[in-house]
A and B are shown apart, each in its own frame.
Chain A
């Protein structure tokens, strides 16, 4: 059972919801938590994992053996990212354009290309005090691509006993979000009732629909803005599973590193109810 918490717009409360959902779930089931926002992972600030395991990750980029290369140019032709160029008697590799697909290595008739790991970041994992198996990816500063790190994070240590996996998605609606959602069973869309919240909610809802996954909405900071998010949910048939009222106390607590269920224990049952609803729907 894999649940992704996504939003489109940043700062709507993805991590706030995801961490408390994990805590509520951990009261009954074994849970693993994946912080897929590898550009700025912050779920660890709330769940306090003891990170005792690390692994460097990246993509395999080509290295050309100049003595066996015949400069035929097949590698440059096959590369749709133009990450490799053959100019006269020189073969140039542009690592920052490479997506690590391996096509150049495959087509080289001279077997002159070997692949080596270009480290883009690190994966870390460890248990939390609530016995949640916690995983996060951390991308190195200046790296242009988050997707390879998220892909590796999802694959890392898959043989855990956890019954529920919660993935905290990055903001936005581009490749890293698609990679986070891919392979999941349910997408929980956290939004706020503002035009910006709605605009981005629509984008992620469309991705979810395209991937054929069921979704539900959490309206955070309920009471501000307008009713357009609600109208959109009704119109597009996406159920509103929970509403969290706008409350300064929540913002203050989150700023101090407290989880939603610590700040507002009365929200625990509602989160628990939402989780069983999701589990029932998917099963």
Chain B
């Protein structure tokens, strides 16, 4: 299974990034092979719709689970449509990706059942 964790730099040494759409990069862990890979987030400098773009990107990488600190409404809807499970890790103190992964394995993370905050473009519809 492929698990994605949002991180603040494009190396595995970088700390967990509690933002999803605007995370610096994504770390992808293959839980079967134990292989780790890091990809730059293509949505980092998007003028809008970063959540949608980042979600499509992680879906394309074959992710089944995403761990971040927050999911906006558009990211939530897109990841949800892709059948990707979302988990929330605490972003109030610095964590390494390895620590976050351990928390996930120990079932210490809460599953996001809805968007964690309102959109950035005002209410609509």
- A97: chain B residues at CB < 8 Å are 48-49, 52, 74, 121
Q: From B32-40, B76-84, B86-94, give the one contacting chain A.
A: B76-84
Q: Is residue A87 contacting chain B, with contact meaning CB distance below 8 A?
A: yes
Q: Is residue A51 contacting chain B, with contact meaning CB distance below 8 A?
A: no
Q: Is residue B117 contacting chain A, with contact meaning CB distance below 8 A?
A: no
Residue of A nearest to B53 (CB): A82
Residue of B nearest to A79 (CB): B49
- B48: chain A residues at CB < 8 Å are 81-82, 97
CA–CA, A82 to B120, complex, Å?
A: 14
CA–CA, A92 to B43, complex, Å?
A: 17
Q: How far is the CB of A174 from chain B (nearest CB, A)?
A: 13
Which interface class (under 10, 10 to 19, 20 to 34, 35 or more) fits B? Answer: 20 to 34
Which residues from 53 to 74 on chain B have a C-beta closer than 8 Å to any C-beta of chain A? Answer: 53, 55-56, 59, 74
Q: Is residue A88 contacting chain B, with contact meaning CB distance below 8 A?
A: yes
- A142: chain B residues at CB < 8 Å are 122-124
Q: Is residue B1 contacting chain A, with contact meaning CB distance below 8 A?
A: no
- B52: chain A residues at CB < 8 Å are 82-83, 85, 92, 94, 97
Which residues from 105 to 163 on chain A have a C-beta closer than 8 Å to any C-beta of chain B? Answer: 142-144
Partner of B78, one of A80, A92, A95, A96: A92
Residue of A nearest to B49 (CB): A82
Residue of A nearest to B74 (CB): A94
Q: How far is the CB of B84 from chain A (nearest CB, A)?
A: 9
Known: A82-B50, A95-B125. A87 touches B78 (CB 8 A): yes
CA–CA, A107 to B50, complex, Å?
A: 22
Q: How far is the CB of A64 from chain B (nearest CB, A)?
A: 13
- B82: chain A residues at CB < 8 Å are 87-88, 90
Seen from chain A, the residues whose Cβ lies within 8 Å of a Cβ on chain B are 76, 79-83, 85-88, 90, 92, 94-97, 142-144
Q: Which 6 A-B pairs have the closest CB atoms?
A: A82-B49, A96-B124, A144-B122, A82-B52, A142-B123, A87-B82
